[in-house]
Amino acid sequence: MTDFAGNQYIIEIVYLIASALFILSLRWMSSPSTARHGVRAGEIGMVLAIAGTLLHHGMEYKWIVIALVLGTGIGIPLGRVQMTAVPQRTALSHAFGALCVTLVGTAEFYLRSPNVPRFMMAVLAMEVILGSLTFTGSLMAAGKLQEILPQRPLTYKGQNFVNLGLLAVAVAIAVYLVQHPEGRQLFPFMIGIPLVFGVLMVVPIGGADMPTVISLLNSYAGLSAAAMGFVLDSKLLIIAGALDGSSGFILSVIMSKAMNRSFTNVLFGAFGQVQTSAAAGTEAKPVHSATAEEAAAILAAANQVVVVPGYGMAVAQAQHKVRELYDSLTKRGVIVRFAIHPVAGRMPGHMNVLLAEADIPYDKLLDMEDINGDFPQTDVALVIGANDVTNPAARTDTASPIYGMPILDVDKARTVMVIKRGMSPGFAGIDNPLYYLERTLMLFGDAKAFVNDIVRELGAGGHS
Amino acid sequence: MGSNLIDALFIFMLAAFIGFEVIRRISPLLHTPLMSLTNALDAIAVLGAIVLVGEHKSTFSAVLGVIAVVAATSNVVGGFLITDRMLKMFKTSRPTKP
C-alpha cells in the first residue's frame, strides 16, 4: 500500500511538470523565433505524462504497447502531408481526438453504471455529446477539404430547426441519464444522435467558411477533453483541454469577426447560408485586361508592391512561382510585401504557412490591420486568387451581403492587378466592383501560369 | 468527491484564463501551427485511454481503449511532427533576430 501511495505521488508530480510544460509550450508559440522551443516543451511534457501513466499500479502493458506503436505508425504519415493538405489533416486530427474522448467516455459509463454520481454523469454526457458531434463533423469537414465530398453548401428549409431539435433530444437524454444513470439502453442514443448532428452541422458549410468551422471544432474537441478530465479526475487533462478549448474559441471569434458574422451565428451553425441576392446583375460591364508583358512592365516600374494571396493561389499551387516573382522584383529594388486576410485560405493562418513553405520571409507577411493603412502609398496591389476579401462593396454598399466585413483596401492602391480565371463571381456569388475600376487591370489566366509569364517577362526585360 | 469537483472547476477556470491570455498574444502568422500544436497537446486524452487498456476491467472497455490509444497517439506523433515542420519553414529576411 505504501508503495502504491509513493507511486501516486510521483505520478502527480510528473503531471504537474507536464502541465507547466504545456503552458510554456503555448507561451513560446507567441514568436516565430521561440516557437520551436514550444514544440520541444510540448513533446517533453507529453512523453513525461505518458511515462508517468505507465507507472500506475497493476497495468498490463501488452496491448498498450501495440496500440502506441500502431498510433505512431498512423501518426508519422499524417505528420508528413503536403502543406496544401494541412487543413484536411487538421480536421482529421480533430476527428481522432474526439474519437478517443468519446470511446473513453463510453467505456467509463458502462464500467461505472449504475453507480454514476450526478455531476459525473453530467460531465460524461457533455464529453460524449461534444466528442461524437466533433468526430463526425470533423470527418465531414476533412472530406469537404479533401474534395471527396462536394464543397458546395447544401441547405434546405428548416435546417437549423432540425439540427437544434436533434441536439435538444440528445441533451434531454443526457438530463434523463443524470437522474437515472441505470438507463444503460439510452446511452447509445446519446452518442448516435450527436453523430448525426455532426454530419448535418457541416453539410451546409461551404469552403470559404471552413476556417471558422475548423476553429469551432477545435474548441469542441478541447472542451470534450476537459470534460473527460472531470470524469477521470485528471487535472492535467482538464488543463490541456481548457487550453485547447480556449485556443479554438479565440480563433473562432477572430474568424467570425473577419467574416462579419456574430459569434452566436457561428455557434449555432447558421453559417454557410448561401447568399443569392446580389448575384443577379450579370450584364457585361467593361473591364480592362492586360497581358503578362504589360503587367511585368508596370510591376518593374513600381516602388511598393503588395501581393494579396487567396485560396485560389493555393488551388493553383502558385506559391513557389510567387516566390520567384518576389525574388525577381526584390532584386530590382521593388519593395514587395504580402497582405494576409484572416480568413484567406481554408484554415486560420493557412496562407502564412504556404508562403513560408515557399521561403518567403515571414516579416514580409502582414496582417490586415498592419497593411491596410499602406495601400494608398502602394503602387501596385497584385491580387492572386482572392475575391471577397478585396470587395470594396463591403465598405460602401449597405445592400451587399458582405457589407461590414473587414476587407483589404486594395482599391486604394494606385494600380490594382487581379489574376483570375474568368469573370465568374466568387464563392459567395457576389459581384466585385473592384474589377470595374479605372485603375484595375484584369489578368485572365491560371495563377501559376500567369505569374510564371510575368517572371519570364521580368527576366527578359534586362537586369539591373 | 464534492471538494474534488470544486477543485477541478477552479483548475478549469484558471487554465482557461491562462489559455486566453497566452493565446491572445499569438500572431495570426502562426495560427496554423498553433492549431496543430494544441491538437497534439489535447491528445493528452491518451492517458485516460492507456489506463483503460492497462486496467483491463472488461473486454469491451479494453477494446474501446485500444482504439482510443491508437487515435490519440496518431495525433500526438502527427501533431508535433507537422508543427515542427511548419515552424522550420518560417524564416525572417533579417540576418539576426530582432
Q: Indicate the average pLDDT of chain A.
A: 88
What pLDDT does residue A57 have? Answer: 76
Cβ-Cβ contacts under 8 Å, B56 against chain A: 60, 63
Instruction: Classify residue A30: in a domain, yes or no.
Output: no
CB-based contact, B61 to chain A, within 8 Å: yes
**Catalytic residue numbers of A?**
388
Which among A70, A235, A240 has the least Cβ separation from residue B70?
A70
Band of pLDDT at residue B3, cut at 50, 70 and 90: low
Distances (CA, A) of A296 to A29, A309, A364, A420: 38, 18, 21, 16
Strand partners, A384: A309, A419
- Across A14-18, A70-74, A257-261, A272-276, least confident range: A272-276
CB contact under 8 A, A76 and B28: no
Report the length, in residues, of chain B.
98
Strand partners, A183: none
Q: State the DSSP H helix or E strand holding residue A367, giving kind and residue range, or none if neither.
A: strand A365-367
Within this chain, do residues A210 and A350 fall inside the same structural domain, yes or no?
A: no
Measure the CA–CA gap between A377 and A413, rounded to whole angstroms: 7
Residue A295 or A461, more confident: A295
Q: Is the pLDDT of residue A131 over 60?
A: yes
CA distance A427 to chain B (A): 22
CB-based contact, A309 to chain B, within 8 Å: no
Instruction: Classify residue A255: in a domain, yes or no.
Output: yes
Q: Is the pLDDT of residue A281 over 50?
A: no
What pLDDT does residue A9 have? Answer: 87
pTM, 2 dp: 0.90
CA distance A279 to chain B (A): 32
**The total number of structural domains that make up chain A:** 2
Within this chain, do residues A297 and A192 fall inside the same structural domain, yes or no?
A: no
What pLDDT, in 10s, does the model give residues A434-443?
A: 999 989 999 9
Cβ-Cβ contacts under 8 Å, B74 against chain A: 71-72, 74-75, 78, 93, 96
Burial class (CB in 10 A: 0-12, 13-18, 19+), A100: buried
Within this chain, do residues A253 and A297 fall inside the same structural domain, yes or no?
A: no
Chain A 396-455, CB below 8 Å of chain B: which residues? Answer: none
What pLDDT does residue A269 have? Answer: 52
What pLDDT does residue A214 have? Answer: 92
* Domain final residue, candidates A267, A294, A314: A267
- Across A215-229, A397-411, B9-23, least confident range: A397-411
Within this chain, do residues A247 and A394 fall inside the same structural domain, yes or no?
A: no
Instruction: Classify residue A131: in a domain, yes or no.
Output: yes
Instruction: Classify residue A371: in a domain, yes or no.
Output: yes
CB-based contact, A142 to chain B, within 8 Å: no
User: Buried b / exposed e across A56-66, counting CB within 10 Å, b at 16+?
Assistant: beeeeeebbee
Distances (CA, A) of A240 to A54, A70, B87: 19, 23, 21
Which whole number is the average pLDDT over A269-298? 67
Within this chain, do residues A258 and A210 fall inside the same structural domain, yes or no?
A: yes
Which whole number is the average pLDDT over A288-305? 92
Instruction: Classify residue A187: in a domain, yes or no.
Output: yes
CATH code of residue A386: 3.40.50.1220
Within this chain, do residues A244 and A295 fall inside the same structural domain, yes or no?
A: no
Measure the CA–CA gap between A437 and B32, rounded to whole angstroms: 34
Within this chain, do residues A255 and A335 fall inside the same structural domain, yes or no?
A: no
Query: A interface mutation test: which of B26, B41, B52 has the most A CBs within 10 A?
Result: B41
Which among A106, A120, A237 has the least Cβ separation from residue B44?
A237
Which whole number is the average pLDDT over A305-324? 92
Which whole number is the average pLDDT over A358-374? 93
Which whole number is the average pLDDT over A14-20? 95
Which among A23, A30, A246 has the least Cβ separation from residue B20?
A246
ipTM of the modeled complex: 0.93
CB-based contact, A57 to chain B, within 8 Å: no
Which among B23, B46, B81 has the least Cβ separation from residue A247?
B23
| DSSP codes joined into one string, A39-88 | HHHHHHHHHHHHHHHHTSTT---HHHHHHHHHHHHHHHHHHT--GGGHHH
- Across A101-115, A416-430, B45-59, least confident range: A416-430
Within this chain, do residues A296 and A260 fall inside the same structural domain, yes or no?
A: no
What pLDDT, in 10s, does the model give residues A46-63?
A: 999 999 999 887 888 999
Q: Is the pLDDT of residue A24 over 90?
A: yes
Query: B interface mutation test: which of A100, A251, A330, A372 has the most B CBs within 10 A?
Result: A100
Within this chain, do residues A171 and A141 fall inside the same structural domain, yes or no?
A: yes
What pLDDT does residue B16 have? Answer: 95
What pLDDT does residue A248 have? Answer: 93
Domain ranges of chain B: 29-89
CB-based contact, A47 to chain B, within 8 Å: no
CB contact under 8 A, B73 and A71: yes
Within this chain, do residues A299 and A207 fall inside the same structural domain, yes or no?
A: no
What is the domain extent for residue A216? 60-267
